[in-house]
A and B are shown apart, each in its own frame.
Chain A
């Protein structure tokens, strides 16, 4: 069955290290999104992509980057991890612009010490 997966599911890292979170979907969806979820803040958009080679900044993009080299993957990189980036990260995808339903991955819990 088609699905969206994230890895790792849990990650502990140290301040200043570079961290990459993986997101992979097998639906052949054009749109992919990264959110962070923090208590009291709901889901906030970090970066998103409408297709290969396309990336866009979301509401809370500082300190994060993404790249889209193929349809299936949108890795999220924390260039220099900070304690404020301790959070649960969700990847999501949707078929194409104009079809809005987003399907979420299982999430990655990241702790920055």
Chain B
């Protein structure tokens, strides 16, 4: 089955800095890669996703890049703000089955 590795497990940055979280996956059949943000005590919420037919996707301060050859994808957050502090999860899935395999999460702390 699919295996998703996520690094780092914790990341501390100063407000205004950029943050990068990286994930690798093992199953070449995976073609859908979402990122979820989970605030303390809340449910995971989708913030951005990318499919295997594109290499990069941006949404305001958030971007995701995908390298299918190397089987890795990354989340980039620019101009970080304290409200970006949360746990971020990457996931990989095969749209033919609709199931997702999640990474173990990255706790991002943005200090004012």
B13 at the interface (CB under 8 A from A): no
- A-side contacts of B49, CB under 8 Å: 100-101
- A-side contacts of B42, CB under 8 Å: 106
Measured in the bound complex, the distance between the Cα atoms of B99 and A50 in whole Å is 10
**Chain B residues bordering chain A, tally (CB within 8 A):** 25
B25 at the interface (CB under 8 A from A): no
Measured in the bound complex, the distance between the Cα atoms of B95 and A42 in whole Å is 21
- B-side contacts of A43, CB under 8 Å: 44, 89, 91, 102
Bin chain A's interface residue count. Answer: 20 to 34
Min CB–CB distance A54 → chain B (angstroms): 12
Contact between A40 and B99, CB atoms less than 8 A apart: no
By a beta-carbon cutoff of 8 Å, the part of chain B in contact with chain A is: 1, 6, 32, 34, 36, 42-46, 49, 89, 91, 93, 95-105
